[in-house]
Structure 1
């Protein structure tokens, strides 16, 4: 029998070691264990609340606030406290979203005023090459508003930059934000996702000033929604497959809530009507408030992590500050999965339910936050006029179940087939006619266990192991006795005991529709060489990693059939032109591409063979029919490996049907042709033996028909 402190130690020590779970012969996933206090790779508690995660390359950086009250509650989680004293902003780094290395206090208290500091996030501004931290707080000289700090490194230190005072934020009702987070879009633009302060009935998408991210741009801020049914807080955003989801919680203070969402195809709206995020209703988002979201994109798929804030220090609602849950899109709509344990493979973009997952929803009765006559996730057979959750009859957290008289409480769950164990901690007054814990409707007869024996101490009770054969089970508790004959229940577990090979769950990697600007210009109308990095890149980056390229960099398109490069070229007169592309393919296989002109495919597959190394640059020549003037040439990947690295595209100067008998004449002709620009008046006379350039006769010694191609310099 463990007391609360011993239970807490057992749970938190377990999470300091990473669990490895197999997802087949190739993939390895690591386990996220919720409902405990997390520890970093050094075995120390993770203190990170009200923050966000920024991905830089293959590394995730997690920023949050360390509060004085978080330290005292983690050390002795027996009652909530109100110590919101600011100890600094912490930073942790990870490559797998499970093992977190402590990088230090990256924003120290001396960089801010005293009092509340929080709801922070970090984004990167490519123009200033600075990491920008924004949140709610005051400057060192006690000026309050939207707080900004900057750093040249994701691991800090961050230094105070400025506060945007409330007097400048008249675009918010009451001149400030309520809860807020930061959202960094695919195009590098950053936004504050917020409600207004004092009432919080208005929701906003507020762009940061693009030049440096050190101010909210009020001229572009949009009030996307005004609530008709009360305020919203815990505001955060994620994007999936080109759709933006603005999510919030009820105005419940530090407590929990189901999650409300709105969606739009444009970040500034219009947004849909609010809807409840499926899966958050039955235990109020796994006993959390909306925190922030993490987009996981891997080699096999993608999904979204809901990083919920539990605020157990200030609400007292259980163990753990951070509860991370997967959101999937199997039906095209987001679905929240309430899991106590799950496996994640960030590299592949897959997840699966953990072997130790507790399938019971709201198992500690913490979701409801206040006294209730009915409980979230549970069905009561007879309506009760008395509160059935109790702050005195509880084992962990603030609440427990308290039943008297004659009644039954149950929940029906959809679960995988297999063998299960159902347990709960029980106290009893004794003297009831019957009192039991039961499981039924699983494809066989009910199994139950008597819990009527009087006990003032918490005792764990269980039913006999049972096998689910029809994909569902109803679990619950019943009592039949006098009004003073009570039972108390807490910490229920429904765990699968028969192990099976975990099937990783994932969704297709989302492809966000990206279109080049309609006014996409050529680099120069006088160019014959077009550097790839000057074009429009969809799903790819510019790099300088491999030597031997020309220009400033080269283009590395993503390993995807949907990646492409667009280049605007200029052609002086319509006709067939020869071009060549310079590329490097250090892979094992050829990487063909299609080539289009103004969205019409002219080459269905241009073979770009292996070059040997990524530093071996080769050229491939091809022909296109181009109209006069500007054309958009698109090079699109055709395989899952994407395209080779592309350095440049250039016109090839060709000479057709030359007469080799008159070398000097040909040399003169070629020399003249290379000096002609598209602005000259070029005419061909009768049988093509005479050419006129600006009215002057040229090539009078040419004996046979000849053609001269005119090129810009």
Structure 2
């Protein structure tokens, strides 16, 4: 082997080693970056697909907690509207930057017997009650539509385990409710925003109205006192306080397909709410809002959205998520959502492109 050949081989070895190091550095940089990339599969820090559907992102201290339902290994891999083992428990992930999520396990497991054994549980939302020192989760449970109930569970820690306390009556005339969310105001008062899909007393089709109820001081029961925000055709509600206004959103009733986001704004949690035109485009970019969270670092509201696995629903646990910014114009009194292919929720939005 001549000298030139040896030098060439040595050069190639060095080039390949450099490429490997650059690749490692690039992967590490991507992992540590807090830029969200929408339209892609999201993995936790162990490399597994994040499984936290129709849930919320809450903040306790300096840590974000992502609660959601897991549909891994379900019979037929799909969510059904009748009784059956279609739910694997409520899961929780934690993050400091909204980008890198660490799996913390099942915070409310599927019961082995008794209440909750059949049916499906979802829409878990958690608040910390300062008076009782408990973390309170409200969630939806049903065995077969339209019999749907709102339930409560409590825990001593945000990662659980949460202990169910059964269904609670809410402000609809039947006491039932479906898709729901919670809101905790700055004064510590708690509220429940939910879908009342019951038929009116006078008969007719399900209304799919959106209501807001006041909660008791311990957050464990609804006072069954509240208001109607949207009178029909809505589900998957959420609310947030932003720039001194209370913003309530909901989707249309389109099953697994995306839906444009409806919006109403008020000066207090119990209204009166003024309805606006839809605040999203392209059926909320083929998704459905499931939660809103205010981020003080960037003075931005971030919407957590579900992009359900549409083609054949063969494995809905593969469904994706979107993080999208929601803005509010104080001059016009209007909110709007924007799509971001890639963005940093915790950084100022002023210089971030659509």
**Do they superpose with TM above 0.5?**
yes
What is the aligned counterpart of 2:258 among 245, 251, 256?
256
* 2:228 paired residue among 204, 223, 228: 223
CA contact (8 A) 1:19 1:30 kept: no
Q: Deviation digits for residues 617-676 of structure 1, max 9, x if unmatched?
A: xxxxxxxxxxxxxxxxxxxxxxxxxxxxxxxxxxxxxxxxxxxxxxxxxxxxxxxxxxxx
Contact 1:249 1:259 in 2 (8 A): yes
Give the Å deviation of 1:351. 4.0
Give 2:19's aligned residue: none
Q: What whole-Å deviation, never above 9, does each CA across 1:428-471 have from its counterpart, x for those lacking one?
A: xxxxxxxxxxxxxxxxxxxxxxxxxxxxxxxxxxxxxxxxxxxx
- After TM superposition, list the pairs within 5 Å mapping 1:480-519 onto structure 2: 503-504=351-352
Map of 1:55-134 to 2, 5 A cutoff?
55-68=59-72, 81-82=78-79, 85-110=86-111, 112-134=116-138
Q: 2:302 aligns with which of 300, 305, 310?
A: 305
Structure 2 CA distance for aligned equivalents of residues 343 and 58 of structure 1: 17
Q: Look up the SS of the partner of 2:274 in the other structure.
A: coil
Give the whole-Å Cα distance in 2 for the aligned partners of 1:29 and 1:327. 22
For 1:239 and 1:288, locate their aligned partners in 2 and report how far apart those are by CA, in whole Å: 22
Contact 1:254–1:314 (CA<8 Å) still a contact in 2?
A: no
Q: Is the 1:178–1:200 contact (alpha carbons within 8 Å) kept by the matching residues of 2?
A: no
CA distance in 1 between partners of 2:74 and 2:288 (Å)? 17
Q: Is the 8 A contact 2:304 2:323 kept in 1?
A: yes
Choose between structure 1 and 2: higher helix proportion. Answer: 2
The structural deviation recorded for 1:341 is 2.1
Mapped partners of 1:72, 1:40: distance in 2: 25
Q: Is the 8 A contact 1:68 1:83 kept in 2?
A: no
Give the counterpart of 1:135 among 101, 126, 139. Answer: 139
Structure 1 match to 2:292:
293
Question: CA offset at residue 146 of structure 1?
Answer: 2.0
Deviation at 1:173, TM superposition (A): 4.1
Instruction: Measure how far apart 1:331 and its partner are.
Output: 6.4
CA RMSD of aligned residues (A): 3.0
Alignment of 1:450-461 (within 5 A): none
Are 1:175 and 1:197, in contact at CA under 8 Å, matched by a contact in 2? no
Which residue does 1:246 correspond to in 2? 248
Q: Is the 8 A contact 2:71 2:79 kept in 1?
A: no
Q: Which runs of 5+ in 2 are unaligned?
A: 1-25, 199-205
| Contact map agreement 1:254 1:315 (CA 8 A) in 2 | no
Deviation sequence 1:537-560 (CA, Å, 0-9, x none) = xxxxxxxxxxxxxxxxxxxxxxxx
Alpha carbons of structure 1 residues 177 and 244: separation in structure 2 relative to 1, 3 Å: same
Name the CA distance, whole Å, in 2 between partners of 1:310 and 1:201.
21
Partner of residue 46 from structure 1, selected from 41, 46, 50: 50
Q: How does 1:596-675 map onto structure 2 within 5 Å?
A: none
CA distance in 2, matches of 1:114, 1:154: 25
Aligned equivalents of 1:340, 1:146: Cα separation in 2: 35
The CA deviation at 1:221 is 2.2
Correspondence for 2:212 among 205, 217, 228: 205
Deviations 1:49-77 (A, max 9, x none): 1111111111111111112468986xxxx
Relative contact order higher in (CA < 8 Å, ≥ 6 apart): 2
SS in 1 for 2:284: helix
Instruction: From the superposition, tell whether residues 69 and 255 of structure 1 become closer, same or farther in structure 2 (CA, over 3 Å).
Output: farther
Change (3 A) 1:19 1:83: farther
Q: Do the aligned partners of 1:50 and 1:291 also contact (CA within 8 Å) in 2? A: yes
Q: Give the match's secondary structure for 2:285.
A: helix
Task: Report the TM-score, using the length of structure 2 for normalisation.
Answer: 0.78
Q: Contact 2:229–2:264 at 8 Å: present in 1 too?
A: no
Equivalent residue number for residue 203 of structure 2: none
Rg larger in structure:
1
Aligned to 1:428: none
Q: CA deviation at 1:38?
A: 1.0
Secondary structure of 1:286's aligned partner? helix
Q: Deviations over 1:134-175 (max 9, x none)?
A: 111269xxx9732111100001111122322xxx44x30443
Q: Structure 1 residues 105 and 205 mapped into 2: Cα distance closer, same or farther (>3 Å)?
A: same
3-state SS of the aligned residue for 1:284? helix
Q: Specify which of 31, 36, 42 is matched with residue 32 of structure 1.
A: 36
